[in-house]
Amino acid sequence: MKKTSFLIVIFTCSALGLLNSDDFGVKVRPLDEELVTVSAKEVVTTKISVRNHTSLKHEFESEVTLPKKWKLISVDFPFELSADQSKIKIISFFVPDSTKSGKYEIKYKVSGRRFPSLSDEIKIRVVVRDSVEFKNKKLKIDKE
């Protein structure tokens, strides 16, 4: 009976808009641009805010998903956030020379270690532009 009453209260609050998903759980938000334009052979660094919107302290771990052959430079370890605490995380990755120009997507996901469903993620779009190489060449000019 208690479980049913609890579910009715949750459903009612949700229907009335009293439970906003932005006000509960863990929230991951970019602090820099969500669209980055780079050339191959560049290192990209971006800042991300992680906030614990629960009333309890939780331990989180992050996961970065990159396109094939891209290299994650930054190292991230599990971290704790108290209730309503936030932390800025920095991720850096290398876009290799072999990357063709085009649009790519980076995913940064944070999950609770004890409660994996306590999670959020963001996607950062990366546009790799054509790289232009200039070569100096000596020209011979015939004198007339």
Distance CA(58)–CA(115), nearest Å, equals 9
Distance CA(10)–CA(98), nearest Å, equals 51
Instruction: Indicate whether 128 pLDDT > 90.
Output: yes
- Mean pLDDT across 75-82: 95
Distance CA(46)–CA(72), nearest Å, equals 12
% the chain with pLDDT above 90: 69
Task: Tally the domains of the chain.
Answer: 1
- Structural domain contains residue 108: yes
- Structural domain contains residue 119: yes
Q: What type of residue sits at position 5?
A: S
Per-residue pLDDT tens digits for 83-120: 999 999 999 999 999 999 999 999 999 999 999 999 99
| Pick from 24-28, 41-45, 50-54, 139-143: least confident | 139-143
- Structural domain contains residue 3: no
In angstroms, the first-to-last Cα distance of the chain is 104
- Structural domain contains residue 2: no
Distance CA(50)–CA(95), nearest Å, equals 25
Task: Take residue 23 and report the two structure tokens written for it.
Answer: 């006000």
Distance CA(61)–CA(14), nearest Å, equals 28
Residue among 93, 92, 101 nearest 39 (CA) = 101
CATH number assigned to the domain comprising residue 101: 2.60.40.10
Per-residue pLDDT tens digits for 59-73: 999 999 999 999 999
Residue with tokens 């209260």: 9
- Structural domain contains residue 9: no
Residue among 126, 45, 108, 51 nearest 81 (CA) = 51
Q: What is the pLDDT of residue 16?
A: 35
**Residue 75: domain span:** 21-129
Q: What is the pLDDT of residue 27?
A: 97
% the chain with pLDDT above 70: 76
- Structural domain contains residue 70: yes
- Structural domain contains residue 16: no
